[in-house]
Structure 1
Amino acid sequence: MKEQKSPAIAIYSRKSRFTGKGESIENQIELCKKYIDVNYPDTPEDSILIYEDEGFSGGNTERPQFKKMMEDARKKKFSVIICYRLDRISRNIGDFAKLIDEFSDLEISFESIKEKFDTESSLGRAMMYIASVFSQLERETIAERIRDNMHELAKTGRWLGGNTPTGYKSTQVQKITVDGKKRSAYKLDIVQDEMELVKTIYSRFLEMNSLTKVETYLIQNHLKTKMGKDFTRFSIKAILQNPVYMIADKDAWKYYEDLGVELYADKAEFDGKHGIMAYNKTVQKAGKANQFRDMDEWIIAVGKHKGVISGKEWVMVQNYLGQNASKAYRKPKSNMALLSGLLRCGHCGSYMRPKVYNTDYAEGEKRYSYLCEMKEKSRMQECDMKNPNGNVLDRAICEEVKKLSENSSEFVKQLEEAKKSITANTSEYDKRMENLKATLSDNEKEIKALVSKLAETEGTAANGYITDQINELHEKNKFIKKSMEELESLTKENVLSDEEFDILRELLASFASSFDTMTVEQKRMALRNFIKKIVWDGENVHVYLFGANEDEIELPNEAETEPLGGGSK
């Protein structure tokens, strides 16, 4: 039994991706708790601090919960850090060495239960450094193996899976051998109607040299993505930049050769028929959008599929995109408009964004209106909603919200009635919540009992069976917790807590007197405290307040129409 310096102990767990098997985050935590029960038996349950990162690599320390743990360590919130295995903390020897030194300076003991050593002894520290070297070696070996596999896969020119590009579908063609293993091979086959759309996008962009104009053309002609949604500039650009559509011809060869990209095909294979397959193109991280790697890290091969855009045209498209990016208009972020993100078009439901004009009012105030996004994108073909005068609309909304302060008793009364009506129906929710909590508690007890049996069955077939049971119970608990969250959100939706109610009442009391002295940003934030959304129907503005009924504001005539500018309405 170890001597404990402080009652608080930290547990750190990490897994690169969720699999539901093996050393799951939950298993790591349960095993660490068992270790604490044996070695630190006097530790209260509420003195165990848990930090868990799922979906993050051990190759660096850029992990949110790891950073939080280190912040707490520097604040001396605990004196011991326990993890299931050394590489859960780091697979990088440089990072690991710095961490051990910092733990030593902070007088924090680091213990790994799998390797069964800690940093309180010089031998333990030495063993950790040695183990960390092997962890980094393993990581670098894995990276090399992945790269080697990429080269082997590039030889086949096959499709590796995932979402197929617009215009193609994935078809199994044969079994191939990679790394001595038989694997199914897939190639891309053309989906004719989708591919016609892709060709249209390329031809229109080469004609118009503008993503915005192509977007407008597609919307006006009701051409949708394969998911049935309107194209955006971003989805159009993704198609235009995808090398999968390029025909592997002499222009394609020259383009990549000039850029110094690794070509895993002979020049003779660029036969003017097949398409290009690019491997190792993106960095994929859990919870984040894929990021493109530098092109010199790409592996380019000739695919088994047919290309549809000539190398000359595809390269021309890339040059146009590069030119447009360098001279792209940067929309100014600062303006006086207050309702961005709140105001919606009553005709099509799109957001209305401010359009600032070059002319000012006599008082020096910038003129602006609100413009429906769909109206702008479709050049009025899909929506022709009138543009409200932004200056007048903002003032009208602000004045109406300030009136809430003058007649706060009526507004507060509405809030109270809304709160009571929902609270009256929560008894059924409460019963369901109690049942879910009871089931969750029973499962947790069963997990704890199973974890206790793991040590007794180590090295036997029963050990794996028990681990599977623990994982199954954890999955059930995840579902229960999600159900509890959904149930809780139902009871809270559109109703204010007592604390929020008091804050809103205080805001109402001081709102009218302080609003005019606020900055633009403060006004925006203040309005969002009261307003859920605003809908402009061309004549009236419908304001939806939190916890109250819809209010309607009829604007002065001067606000009802405002030209787009440049002669268009």
Structure 2
Amino acid sequence: MPEALNAVIYARYSSDRQTEQSIEGQLRECYAFAKANDIAVIDTYIDRAISGKTDNRPAFQKMIEDSAKRQFQAVIVYRLDRFTRNRYDSAIYKARLKKNGVKVLSAMENLNGSPESIIMESLLEGMAEYYSVELSQKITRGMRENALKGKALGGQRVLGYKVNSDCYFEIDETTAPVVVDIFKLYSSGKTVKEICDILNARGVKTARGGAFNKNSLHTILTNKKYIGIYKTKYGEIVGGIPAIIDKELFEMVALRMEQNKKAPARAKAEINYLLSTKLFCGKCRSAMVGESGTSKTGKKYYYYACVKKKREKACDKSNVKKDWIEDLVIQRTVTDILKDDVIEKIADRLVELQKAEAAESGTMLYLENSLAEIQVSIKNIMTAIEKGIITESTKTRLTELEDEKRNVEIEIAKESIARRIISREQIIYWISSFKDGDITSEKYRQQLIDTFVHAVFVYDDKIVITYNYSGENNTATISDLDLSSPPKQDNPNLRPIGQGFGFLVFIKDIEA
């Protein structure tokens, strides 16, 4: 028998007209989805009154961190917009979960894991992001008025302050002295690490209840709230909030931070390997992971290496230059996928997928079964009443059942409305929008790969790229490539297929 799938549930609601009841509804649907699919739920993570536009959510971050323990294999959300409404964040965090063997499942959209469902998932995330922008425009006016009055707009808590019942900031007498100590320690010459060590040794916690690190300390040292300036996206309001630090100390700290910033950098920039989790060795089928090295001249090189070769010395696959393979995959994806005829075929399959998923909805089946059970119970009570069996308990139970029936019918109506079918024209429009992407933008390149590329297999003499749609021409094989470096133009056995990014790409043939 296959090993049982363990999962956790992530639920979230924003502050816009949503309440604890929203969480209860999400959990109910997620548990129903898990039961219908024989999934064991081992834990729940809940963020309250926090927007999905930001990844700065305590429970969400804890869930991502816990995924590294490999105790669960899936995260169940009510809808994909509960996970995040930012498409770029979604791609980043799903990649992190995937590395830990965890996938994201939607209870309501019920995506089935087929190649097309990955594209559909990206489409739904894009729509959620659009909805988020549209919603924010509707509430901007009210938020601006609150900001001008100095009222808290929600979001991240600030160490040293508390928010009163009228939504105004007040100095927290318990934590404000900690803020003063932090500024004085830094101005006296203590390093960020030394200050973090001092605070953590004392058992002092951040506003979120965690240990101090360089990021949380930097946030405090640069926060103008501490000198009474309430900074929002609508502008800065001097005196809009009670000051904890005097301006002279704040400016002294800012000057020292600027001086330290100009000192030689201690940390190196993190390199994003776009093909992580999608690039595989053609010889042993193991994953190829991002690596870096430095030559004798001090030049830094970035490449992908076979995991089996790296860890077990059991494969002789040569390393592949990072920029070269990523540029090649990007170019081929644009060439092979973003064509009108292919886009139309994908759109047709996505429409079919939506119809199939709507017909197989586990949530709808659960609600319909619940309604049927309630109706049977009501019928039985009515039969008893007709036979003269009338007690106070009978009346109470009948009232309860009528309420339950009404609530389930409402949920069924909501489910029917929610399972909207995205039209073929909308899908074509959305996929076609990728044609206008900037191929030099890392964000666009990552979105392109995450949405359309299923897997890339690198052999000694060819590359096989498989795409996220089933049917003809969903695989491209690029043969006879010199994979250790970009092919040289003077090779008589190769012919150019087009201009690459900084070099010409050459192949002998393309098999589809």
Question: Shorter-normalised TM-score: what interval?
Answer: 0.3 to 0.5
| RCO higher in structure (CA 8 A, sep ≥6) | 2
Q: TM-score, normalised by structure 2?
A: 0.34
Q: TM-score, normalised by structure 1?
A: 0.31
Task: Please identify the structure whose Cα radius of gyration is greater.
Answer: 1
